[in-house]
Amino acid sequence: MRASGLRPTGVERTFDPGEIIVTKTDLQGRITYANDVFLRVSAYPEEETLGRPHNMIRHPDMPRCVFALLWETLKQGREIFAYIVNLAGDGAHYWVFAHVTPSTDARGQVVGYHSNRRVPARSALRRVEPLYASLAAEERRHARPAEAVAAGTALLERTLEEQNMSYEEFVWSLAGQGAAR
């Protein structure tokens, strides 16, 4: 098990555009499945991955408000697409374009979550990185986590309102797909 004080090295890791990182989690966000691409890119062996909270790869510069939006969307039974920077077990970071969906059983009950991640377009990251940096900076101004998330969320909402779009529309405008996917 790695030390919880893992620090970013500033080294960026990439993966092949044809590869897909896949993980599955239970309802509490603990990893129940991780494919070989995830294990290689995250620099974690399977035995240090399964059963652990998915946020083990949370990069400290990733705004908490984006994860709050992700969880809120999933709890409504909806899918979400998001740009996310992760922290690998060796301190490297890697960006992903994530598609996260609720997983359901035969009765339609949500039993966990499934995430596929691809390499994001560099042009998208040029717009995402400064936004996320401003959101993270706003969150760091608040000592209490709930206040930090609320402040980041308010800033994200104001920023998107100025652009007259939702987070989903923002994500798809960067992906070059438009809001309709």
Q: Which domains does the chain have, with CATH numbers?
A: 21-175 (3.30.450.20)
* pLDDT for 175: 78
Helices (H), 30-175: 36-42, 64-75, 122-140, 145-162, 167-175
Any idea what the Cα angle at residue 11 is, between residues 9 and 17, rounded to 5°? 140
* pLDDT for 5: 77
Regions of the chain short of the pLDDT cut 50: 1-3, 177-181
Hey, CA dihedral for 127, 152, 56, 98, is it positive or negative? Answer: negative
* pLDDT for 178: 41
* pLDDT for 4: 59
| 81, 99 contact by CB (below 8 A) | yes
* pLDDT for 60: 95
Say how far residue 164 (Cα) sits from the centre of its chain. Answer: 23
Q: Tokens 């039974």 identify what position?
A: 77
